[in-house]
Structure 1
Amino acid sequence: MKKKYSTIKLVSLFVGSILTVSCNDSFLDRYPIAEISPENSFKTADDLRLYTNGFYEQLPSIRNIIDADLKTDNVLYSSIPEEQRSHERILPSETGSGGWDWEDLREINLFFDNYQRCTDEAGRDKYEGVARFFRAWFYFDKVKRFGDVPWYETVIQTGDTDLLYKARDSREFVVSKIIQDLEIAVDKLGDERASDQVTRWTALALLSRVCLYEGTFRKYHTELGIQGSDTLLQKAYEAAGRVMDESGYTLYSTGNPDTDYRDLFASTLKEDEVILGRRYSLTLNQMHNVNYYLTSRTQRDIGLTKDLVDSYLQLNGMPFTSKTGYATMGFYDEMQSRDRRLAQTIRSLGYQRIGGTATLLPDFAATMTGYQLCKFLSDETQDGDGASYQDVAFIRYAEVLLNYAEAKAELGIITQDDIDRTIRLIRSRVSMPNLDMTSANQSPDAVLAALYPNVSGSCQGIILEIRRERRIELVMEGFRWDDLVRWKAGKLLEPHFIGMYFPSLGEFDLDGDGAPDLMLYTGTAPSTTAAQSVEIGGVLQLTEGDHGNLIGFKDNTKQFDESRDYLYPLPTGDLLLNENLVQNPDWDK
């Protein structure tokens, strides 16, 4: 246990990243390293500001956000994630591994042990609110991953054996503490808007996320017998409603439905919509490698799945899956007259890079399904490894609208007016028709109903359509795994994921210009004028051998264990060190 709770040098806690410091902050403002200690710090509002700036480094990177979707049914890439091969999963062994780490919490609780030294009451309140937000963020992640976890609100010293070796607290208790932290943060924080700083609206948005997650988790995981679902769902829509009514946030739009969704993710934070995000900077040499990651043929060959692509509606608002022959349509036909977000998420017909003039088809050497992700891509000058600097959003106003609609739908109290305040606005950005609640409930989409068989009741249709909207609007933003877990939909991970359909081997005209663009073959590559050739066999095959959908790892077994895989296991090293810890259900069998 000493390793997990070893003293962390205060130097590392105060030297926060330049990414998360506001424009008024500077490294020149920081204290000399030799002077940093609890005894001579935490005395002024500026001390508290400098210290809490370091908490922003605990937020995920843009790669973390994108990678979170790789373990879901949205993506097929160059390996099968462990979450989809339950029979092969190995328990983490090293102490503090597998996500069971607590050093970030120690940094936060060090603040709580010392911030009362500050004599500036207003400053003390503000930065207490920031710290409570980050403690809630930390614990929300732990509850989602492990369920029951030990709750700590003070720094643990080496001699605190009762705390060091305590058992896990119940998820109900920990969630109540998370909510308490966020509600206090809402009261303590100001109502200014700053996309890279924690404010009242950030806390309210996270509160809506937490309560929606836990409310639906309790509703659908009936085997756990945890009460309080309705109360949490009410808190979820009330928190989201406050953001909607009081904050002034809106959805980013310039009135161009063909590019606005794309541009939201391809450059700087859009202040009207982004409630919390991370800034990157070419000038300050704060970069990442997302362009390289999504375009290079040496990376993970990320491809979105046909199931996801099929979920995008037609431009008239009707399901694409209601069209005759949708499952065996070629790329050109299936891309016609679709929700404009599809062509701003994958390389579709007529795709051009930002700032470019060349029309590009999917690069089959960089995507396993043919549906190549272009969301998050900036211009080609940023394609080098570590050369990208587009910002990333963690909390968007669009998510808040979706939280509000889903919470009310799950409670059975949603109205068409609620839909008009939420889904209609999201769809309007891309000039899509509004969702009609009466029609959705009278004729629930059969394809969606098959995906989520545990959704029933008078609001079945509208719940299913809100789930569709959430999957499309938030794709690759790190939500899908959490959604599958809370909806108890893990079985969607078991089928082999597929990509584009091809009726045979041979040459294919993907863009309808009369010239071949792609050759599919087995064995020796034949002569072709097509710009791309793909060998079928090995990892990448067709579902029916010589025709069908692209499929990866067809001969590998996939499995999701409903009795255990909604939670992750604790490391065996921690179980050995602390006999009061108990492994999550069925992970010790």
Structure 2
Amino acid sequence: MKKRIFLPVILIVLLAAAGCKKYVDKGLPDQFDDKTFWRSEDNVRSYSWPFYELFPGYGNGGSFGDFYFTSFTDDQANTTFQNFTLNVPSAASSWDFSTVRKANIMLERIDAVPMPDEAKKHWKGVARFFRALVYFARVKDYGDVPWIGRSMDISDTAMIYKPRDPRTLVMDSILYDINYAVDNMRVKDQTNTVNRDVALALKARICLYEGTWRKYHTKLGLPDAGKFLLAAKDACEKLMASPYKLSADYQSNYNSLDLANNGEVILYKKYLPGYLTHSVIGYTTSSSQMSGLTKAAVESYLCTDGLPISLSPLYQGDNTIKVTRSNRDRRLLQTIDTFLCYNGNLVQGMSSSTGYRPSKFLQPLVANVLAPYNDTDAPLFWLAEVLLNYAEAAAELDNLGQYAFAQTDLDKSINLLRVRANLPPLQYAGAQKVAVNGAGYADPKKDADVTSLIWEIRRDRRAELMMDGFRYADLMRWSKGDYMSSATHPDIFKGAKVPDNGAVLRDANGYITPYKAATSRTFADPKNYLLPVPSGQISLYPNGTLAQNPGW
């Protein structure tokens, strides 16, 4: 029988046991004895369990996770208006390096633990994996950050008040960490724990982000975009050569009660009634208004002939939800429901900010549909993202003149996803142009500074990962923050076309408007590409040591 590891359950048991032992030995159950803890590999493993809290998944209980709740994008309209940060905060939970310190301590203690060298290398890889994960999040938020490569005590003021290191140094350090993890972590450790394949998936995610950030944020003059893109492509190829296989059903990755036997999933977050649950289903089932998909998001899906709605003769318009869903990418059909629900037109008490009800995460067999008691598993790393990362990295490298893109690159990546989505394969016509069913085309909505090949790969990424928590970061790395501006992209503040009922807000063409007419959002370039460093942190440093980000 396959061994199943329930991380939250193990963590609770270990912490409880550790607390009892400390009480017997020391009489101080609230203290951690660093000198006597590092005695075995099991102790190292137990020290590593809290790192898994870095994976939000669907959230914990009533807290929000990466899926559905990350609605600050052009794909969803939150039930209440969301805007960019307007003022520098005094504090921010994202400016936190406590987990970095925890990883550094683990790295420094492992050599003294009586265990084989193979085990020491593996656990150093685990510590470096999570340190890379944390620093990747910090770089996405702030750009330059202090790189802290060792643990500190209160007297180490030089390190405590260290200024921000250049992004290039930090990202090279992250790459070193994740490469060490790939080279030294076990192929398999305990079931559903981080291992070499998870490290490869994280490496691909990190390197694609950084490579494209450097390619498109040209004013920053950052070097080595190709180095990171090649690293992303190579990591993906290794995973694509592994026995992972796409699930037959797209939705099963998101509404499964147990992902243990899903051959597409590389790592997942396990939920179990009574131990750890979430609220994704509850928030898309209750009478609380849902954050629906925008008109912009729905219109981005292809028709079943592989063409965008502006070119396809199969597109029937959007006068009703039935025609909106007709002849469309199967992923759209599994992402929004068959009915519209909105103010003045509730369905079983439900309403959506845009009329489109998110249905991707629903599972009728869940133990409890109410929040926060949902127990479907959340994918953390899975093959679909790897295939998308590969296609994009390969296309970007070709665009840089560092790789020769070919049809085979599409056939072993996004065309596999298109089969599942009931779409014809994308064909490569050379020179970054594309075709479908033998006929070349270019989407009239395509940005002038993006090639047709990259545009269509981005479209597939958007459709495949809709509401999965990637979209905001994608817009930032592509230097497309203006997609979030309502003046230049008004469809991000629109929903379905519906008749007037006296209760729902609509524009002159009958599309739902989630917010009042005067509501607007403007992206400030370059200011909004990075968060402001909290003023409280800056004030703690000697004057001028901790610099603020541009525009703040």
Report deviation, 1:552. 1.9
Report deviation, 1:350. 12
Give the corresponding residue for 1:4: none
Report deviation, 1:243. 1.0
Query: For residues 362 and 348 of structure 1, do their structure 2 counterparts lie closer, same or farther at Cα, with a shift above 3 Å needed?
Result: farther
Contact 1:362–1:370 (8 Å) recurs in 2:
no
Asked if 1:188 is matched to 2:184, the reply is yes
Asked if 1:376 is matched to 2:370, the reply is no
Distance 1:93 1:26 in 2: 36
Asked if 1:263 is matched to 2:267, the reply is no
Asked if 1:582 is matched to 2:544, the reply is no
Contact 1:347–1:361 (8 Å) recurs in 2:
no
Give the corresponding residue for 2:476: 485
Asked if 1:93 is matched to 2:90, the reply is yes
Query: For residues 400 and 61 of structure 1, do their structure 2 counterparts lie closer, same or farther at Cα, with a shift above 3 Å needed?
Result: closer
Q: Deviations over 1:12-56 (max 9, x none)?
A: xxxxx9535679x86677572446422112221111111112211
Q: Deviations over 1:350-399 (max 9, x none)?
A: 99xxxxxxxx9967842111111111222265221212011111211111
Q: Deviations over 1:36-92 (max 9, x none)?
A: 422112221111111112211122141321256311000012122222xx6xx1211
Distance 1:302 1:195 in 2: 35
Aligned residues between the structures: 508
The one-letter amino acid of 2:142's match is F
* 1:302-313 map, 5 Å: 302-313=291-302
Q: Structure 2 stretches of 5 or more lacking a match?
A: 26-31, 59-63, 399-403
Q: Deviations over 1:307-335 (max 9, x none)?
A: 11111111222222324786654322121
The one-letter amino acid of 1:221's match is H
Distance 1:566 1:370 in 2: 30
Give the corresponding residue for 1:316: 305
Give the corresponding residue for 1:19: 7
Asked if 1:441 is matched to 2:421, the reply is no
Distance 2:339 2:426 in 1: 26
SS at match of 1:144: helix
Give the corresponding residue for 1:82: 83
Q: Deviations over 1:443-482 (max 9, x none)?
A: 45334413xx431xxxx11111100000000111110001
SS at match of 1:263: helix
Q: 1:366 aligns with which of 351, 355, 359?
A: 351
Give the corresponding residue for 2:494: 498
Q: Deviations over 1:106-146 (max 9, x none)?
A: 22222122122112122211111111110010000000000
Q: Structure 1 stretches of 5 or more lacking a match?
A: 1-16, 254-259, 352-359, 506-519, 523-534
Q: 1:339 aligns with which of 312, 316, 329?
A: 329
Contact 2:254–2:378 (8 Å) recurs in 1:
yes
SS at match of 1:395: strand
Contact 1:198–1:276 (8 Å) recurs in 2:
yes
Query: For residues 575 and 369 of structure 1, do their structure 2 counterparts lie closer, same or farther at Cα, with a shift above 3 Å needed?
Result: same
Query: For residues 129 and 291 of structure 1, do their structure 2 counterparts lie closer, same or farther at Cα, with a shift above 3 Å needed?
Result: same
Q: Deviations over 1:178-225 (max 9, x none)?
A: 110010001111212877310101111111111110000000000101
The one-letter amino acid of 1:117's match is A
Distance 1:556 1:218 in 2: 33
Q: 2:408 aligns with which of 410, 417, 424?
A: 417
Q: 2:524 aligns with which of 561, 568, 574?
A: 561
Give the corresponding residue for 2:61: none
Report deviation, 1:543. 1.4
Distance 1:362 1:337 in 2: 25
Asked if 1:549 is matched to 2:511, the reply is yes
Contact 1:211–1:233 (8 Å) recurs in 2:
yes
Q: Deviations over 1:519-539 (max 9, x none)?
A: x322xxxxxxxxxxxx03xxx
SS at match of 1:50: helix
Contact 2:317–2:323 (8 Å) recurs in 1:
no
Distance 2:80 2:346 in 1: 24
Query: For residues 20 and 387 of structure 1, do their structure 2 counterparts lie closer, same or farther at Cα, with a shift above 3 Å needed?
Result: closer
Give the corresponding residue for 2:383: 397
Distance 1:309 1:363 in 2: 23
Report deviation, 1:175. 0.5
Give the corresponding residue for 1:207: 203
Distance 2:375 2:393 in 1: 35
Contact 2:286–2:349 (8 Å) recurs in 1:
no
Distance 1:434 1:275 in 2: 25
Contact 2:533–2:548 (8 Å) recurs in 1:
yes
SS at match of 1:348: strand
Distance 2:191 2:228 in 1: 26
Q: 1:521 aligns with which of 496, 501, 510?
A: 501
Report deviation, 1:485. 0.2
Contact 1:311–1:321 (8 Å) recurs in 2:
no
* 1:151-162 map, 5 Å: 151-162=147-158
Contact 1:499–1:549 (8 Å) recurs in 2:
yes
More displaced 10-residue stretch of structure 1: 209-218 or 431-440:
431-440
Q: 2:236 aligns with which of 235, 240, 249?
A: 240
Q: Deviations over 1:202-252 (max 9, x none)?
A: 11111111111000000000010101111111111011111112x311112
Query: For residues 243 and 323 of structure 1, do their structure 2 counterparts lie closer, same or farther at Cα, with a shift above 3 Å needed?
Result: closer
Distance 2:163 2:250 in 1: 46
Contact 1:76–1:369 (8 Å) recurs in 2:
yes
Give the corresponding residue for 2:29: none
SS at match of 1:124: helix
* 1:50-69 map, 5 Å: 50-62=46-58, 63-66=64-67, 69=70
Give the corresponding residue for 1:296: 286
Distance 2:225 2:77 in 1: 33
The one-letter amino acid of 1:399's match is E
Report deviation, 1:426. 1.2
Report deviation, 1:432. 2.2
SS at match of 1:393: strand
SS at match of 2:70: helix
More displaced 10-residue stretch of structure 1: 325-334 or 313-322:
325-334
Distance 1:388 1:291 in 2: 6
Distance 2:252 2:93 in 1: 35
Contact 1:335–1:349 (8 Å) recurs in 2:
no
Give the corresponding residue for 2:401: none
Query: For residues 55 and 33 of structure 1, do their structure 2 counterparts lie closer, same or farther at Cα, with a shift above 3 Å needed?
Result: farther
Q: Deviations over 1:89-112 (max 9, x none)?
A: 121113xx2511122222222212
